[in-house]
Structure 1
Amino acid sequence: MAGRTVLIQSKAHLSIQDGMLSVRTDRGATTLPLEEIWVVIVESHQTTLTTACLSKLNDAGIGVMICGDDHMPNGLLLPIGAHSRHAAIVEDQLTMTKPLTKQLWKRVVRAKILNQAAVLDELGLPSGTVRAFASDVLSGDTSNREGAAASAYFQALIEHGTRRDSAYSSALDYGYGVLRAGIGRAAVGGGWLVSRGIHHHSVYNAFNLVDDLIEPFRPLVDLLVMTYHVTDPLTPQSKALLARVFEHVMVMDGKRCSCVQCIEVMFSSLRSAVLERNAGRLLLPRLDGLETVPIE
């Protein structure tokens, strides 16, 4: 079953009771088992929850994303050392060689570019130029095929404006923020040191590894935004649509599964790649249309 994303958009009080998240509003209370929740997004500044509630969410391995006055993501709370083998995984992670990280990054960039081309295919737009960049990616992407492909991709995708300045920009940013929260949750839950990336290495970024591995998943957000024409101003309904990104199906190792499952398999395969010093063991998602996994 795909993990649930809990989106709080109006005044509410959150608490934990008997292993359940209770969301109480003026219209009544709703409860959900903690084991079913992937991420909690708190958008309303009229929402209240205690430190004890946050602690229980951490213990359950649930990511909590906070939004600012502009209702856009501005904070992320993740548990520390949630995996029982956290120390061992981090030790292996820190011993990764430069050639290995460069080969891993090459795979990530190729997967991202191919998924961008798949978005254009789904929307009936020319994709050949973007797809061609995938075959030219070098180890470590030293020739920056990622940047060149992104430039061509967004020129084809967005008719008026740019990635950073168009009617779609806020929707893309919101969707990427939700995706980042979920990948961060999976990374920490898997025992990874998220500040240590395979390509990103900013000392000011606590989520370098997350920002590496989010890349092949970004096109899923792009396809959602463009298919449903999610533009400014963002409505509660459009944010709810983007918050369901984890329920959408992607292809991993030839199998169709939810985005949540793809993220978990990706981190499991990264563990194998690190232990075996073999970048080819890293499995990454392939985009193939918009299909959701039903949640009961």
Structure 2
Amino acid sequence: MLLTVTISTPKYLCVQDKCLVIKERHEDKVLDKIPLSDIWVIIIDNPQVSITASLMGQVNDAGIGVLFCSFNHMPNGLALPIGAHSRHAEIVEHQLAISKPLRNQLWAKIIRRKIENQARCLELCGGKACDVEKILSYARDVQSNDKTHREGAAAGEYFSKLLPYGPRWTGPMTASLNFGYAILRTGIAQCAVSHGWLVSRGIHHHSAENAFNLVDDLIEPFRAVVDLMVVKENILAPLSRMNKETLTKVTSVVVLLDDKEMPVQTAIDVYCESLRRAIELKDSDQLLLPTLNGLEMATPDSMRTRGRL
């Protein structure tokens, strides 16, 4: 697995010999040197981190996503490379030509798996069997394009049973959930770009003000991984540095996809590639979706997440 690198204190970042170099500000002392080829995502979680235009250019060339956090330490910006895939134009043509029936079928599959994973999360968190079955009933009722809005109905039921301290949007776990989703969103955006997708053009989401409509489609079946981590680890606001490092490891959680166990990071890559096949072959059955499997992490050798003091 590739590294997720978090910079959470004032540092100076530059690139030398195709490596990310991390230094103390106003000093020449090198604290760390990481090959760009080993990095998946960089998280800038301090407003006093200094970066150069040269660094951003080489990071883009290497296909690395960069997530920026605001003064309240919540993600507020994302930088991605452009046209990272050799077949970018061809893939975008297929994406723009996708038929409405196929679009509706793909969205129904995504939402059905999202709800199934929510039911599994509730079960793993000790939810009552009757509540788990109620969530699963919503998944079974999903129709083309989720035209009866089972996603919203399931979410209301799910979060009311899952979260122990308050509602989804105003409770003490709100910031934790949002931070974890942002980590996933960054990884999916980076991967979608590397696969040649136009991320502003969604399957279901279509806001003219959202540059990441496709990403907000693709994240849905992975959200329950964050939910499970936040509830099982009891991660509450205000988020500590340790909390954030824990949430950053969400991409190392093992899920089941295509009858194989793999970390979320790998599953996102397989998922994006399967979407390309589904669209090019006009067959929604080609789309491979993740199944929540618990909180087992990938092996220590592949769990490559670095935090910075």
Task: Tell me which interval the TM-score lies in, with the shorter structure as reference length.
Answer: over 0.9
Residue 248 of structure 1: which of 224, 238, 253 is its match? 253
Q: Distance in 2 between matches of 1:159 and 1:50?
A: 44
Cα deviation for residue 160 of structure 1 reads 2.9
Amino acid at match of 2:116: L
Question: Equivalences for 1:1-296 in 2 at 5 Å?
Answer: 2-25=1-24, 28-126=30-128, 127-293=132-298, 294=300, 295=302
| Runs of 4+ residues deviating >4 angstroms | none
TM (norm. structure 2) is 0.93
SS state of the match for residue 23, structure 2?
A: strand
CA root-mean-square deviation:
1.1
CA distance in 2, matches of 1:270, 1:173: 25
Query: Once the two structures are superposed, what CA deviation does each residue of 1:60-97 show, in whole Å capped at 9, x if it has no partner?
Result: 11000001111100000000000011000000101100
Kindly indicate whether the alpha-carbon contact (under 8 Å) linking 1:3 and 1:246 is maintained by their aligned counterparts in 2: no
Counterparts of 1:150 and 1:36, CA distance in 2: 37
8 Å Cα contact 2:21/2:30 also seen in 1? no
SS of structure 2 residue aligned to 1:256: strand
What amino acid is the match of 2:226?
A: V
Q: Determine helix, strand or coil for the equivalent of 1:87.
A: helix
Q: CA deviation at 1:16?
A: 1.1
Q: 1:3 touches 1:247 (CA, 8 Å); kept in 2?
A: no
Q: Give CA-to-partner distance per residue, 1:120-178, whole Å, 9 cap, x none.
A: 11111121111111100000000000001100100001133211010100000111111
Once the two structures are overlaid, the 10-residue window that deviates more, 49-58 or 241-250, is 241-250
The Cα of 1:39 is off from its aligned counterpart by 0.7
Question: Any gaps of 5 or more consecutive residues in structure 2?
Answer: 305-309
What residue identity is the alignment partner of 1:29?
L
Q: Please give the per-residue CA displacement for 1:235-284, whole angstroms capped at 9, x wherever unaligned.
A: 00000111111111111101000111100001110011001111111001
Secondary structure at the counterpart of residue 225 of structure 1: helix
Secondary structure at the aligned position of 1:48 is classed as coil
The amino acid that maps onto 2:252 is E
Question: How far 1:38 moved relative to its partner?
Answer: 1.1
Moved more, 87-96 or 240-249: 240-249
Q: How big is the shift at 1:17? A: 1.3
Distance of 2:24 and 2:292 partners within structure 1:
37
Kept in 1: contact 2:5–2:41 (CA 8 A): yes
Paired AA for residue 190 in structure 1: H
Answer whether contact 1:120 1:157 (CA < 8 A) is retained: yes
User: How far apart are residue 33 of structure 1 and its match?
Assistant: 1.6
The code of the aligned residue for 2:12 comes to: H
Query: Which whole-Å CA distance do the structure 2 matches of 1:25 and 1:239 have between them?
Result: 22
TM-score by length of 1: 0.97
- Aligned residue for 1:199, secondary structure, equals coil
Q: Deviations over 1:164-196 (max 9, x none)?
A: 010100000111111101100000111000011
Deviations 1:192-218 (A, max 9, x none): 000110000000000000000000011
| Paired residue type of 1:48 | S
Equivalent residue of 1:244, what SS?
A: helix
* Cα shift at 1:28: 4.8
On the 8 A contact 1:262/1:285 being kept in 2, the answer is yes
- Cα distance, 1:22 vs. partner? 1.2
Question: What SS class does the counterpart of residue 49 from structure 1 fall into?
Answer: coil
Letter in 1 for 2:239: L
